[in-house]
Chains A and B, each alone.
Chain A
Amino acid sequence: MEEQEHAPPRYILIFVILAVLTAAEVGYAFLDLPKVVLAVGLIIMAVWKAVMVAMYYMHLRYEPARLWILAISPIPLAFILVLAVITEF
């Protein structure tokens, strides 16, 4: 059940990681690198940050598996949506 006991996440540590990643992103964005390399690096950092927020601040890590399935269900739908529009273009 959702009431299972678990050690509270280290919220401040996660905040520090998010802040450092944000600073790293801004610095990285202005490096003189090929656009594709910049984009891939930036997207990896952004997704990393987003996953941390979902896992620890939204407590998804501590939720039952069924909520996990529900939470990730729009991801394939989102890909289908974008792919469908791209193919129409």
Chain B
Amino acid sequence: MSDAAVATMDRKPMPGMMVYNKKLGMWVFLLSEVMFFTSLIGSYVILRFAHPDHWTDPGIVLNVPLTAGNTFLLICSSVTMVKAFAAIQQGDQKGLQRWLLATILIGATFVGVQVVEYIALVGEGFVPMLDSYHAVGRGNPHEGPSLGGPLYGATFYAMTGFHGVHVTIGVLCLIYVYVRALQGAYTAQSLEGVEVIGLYWHFVDLVWILLFTIVYLI
């Protein structure tokens, strides 16, 4: 079957759904992701209510300004992603490539900052293990009694870690789309790949918006 025929089939709406199959498939996948992150957030909320002594106020243990900056970066990457899609809608190949590259770089920076944050937090005793937990607040290690407890660390690393993995996978997928874009694989009439990865990327941003508030601010 020719590439053109395959592309036409991909664009063909699923009967009754009025959107093409790839997009519908991504939406269904994202809905399963909603349930995945709901289980994580729900567990966090329940554990926090059950063991309030394991938590402390925001900004004491976690580096809120750093993560607020990282949140801003991820919001920027959503703009660059949607600009990439808008560019290819207009048939602007260079614009698509430029905005995709910007999204990749910003996404990779987000992951890098998260790694730096993890290293600093572990160094300050903010770990998920009962035996070695000794977080006492940022910039003041090894002095005073511990603040919070290992449940705080366990839920923090589970939620932000899984999100970080999603961002990393998103960056890898974006690199693939970028390479295809360099080869001229997308046009104004054939832009499904860009739209579908865009949906995933915006979803990852959306989840982080909620996680940042729940984990870092409340």
Contact = CB atoms under 8 A, between A and B. Distances in A.
Q: Do A and B bind each other?
A: yes
A19 B72 CA distance: 6
Contacts, number: 121
B122 interface: no
A46 B205 CA distance: 12
Interface of B: 13, 16-20, 23-24, 27-28, 31, 34-35, 38-39, 42-43, 45-46, 50, 58-59, 64-65, 68, 71-72, 75-76, 78-79, 81-83, 86, 198-199, 202-203, 205-206, 209-210, 212-214, 217-218
A42 B210 CA distance: 10
A8 B86 CA distance: 8
Nearest to A18: B75
Given A66-B16, A81-B38, A82-B38, 17 more contacts: A11-B79, A29-B218, A30-B58, A30-B59, A42-B217, A45-B213, A46-B212, A53-B202, A58-B198, A64-B19, A74-B34, A81-B39, A82-B42, A82-B46, A85-B42, A85-B46, A89-B50
A46 B215 CA distance: 12
A74 B205 CA distance: 18
Contacts of B81: 57
Interface string A16-29: 00110011011001
B27 A67 contact: yes
State the 9 A-B residue pairs at the shortest beta-carbon distance, nearest first.
A46-B213, A82-B42, A78-B38, A29-B217, A74-B34, A64-B18, A15-B79, A57-B202, A53-B206
B23 A70 contact: no
17 contacts: A2-B20, A2-B23, A11-B86, A18-B78, A25-B217, A42-B218, A46-B214, A47-B210, A57-B202, A58-B206, A71-B27, A74-B34, A77-B35, A81-B38, A82-B42, A82-B45, A82-B46
Nearest to A82: B42
A74 B35 contact: yes
B210 A39 contact: no
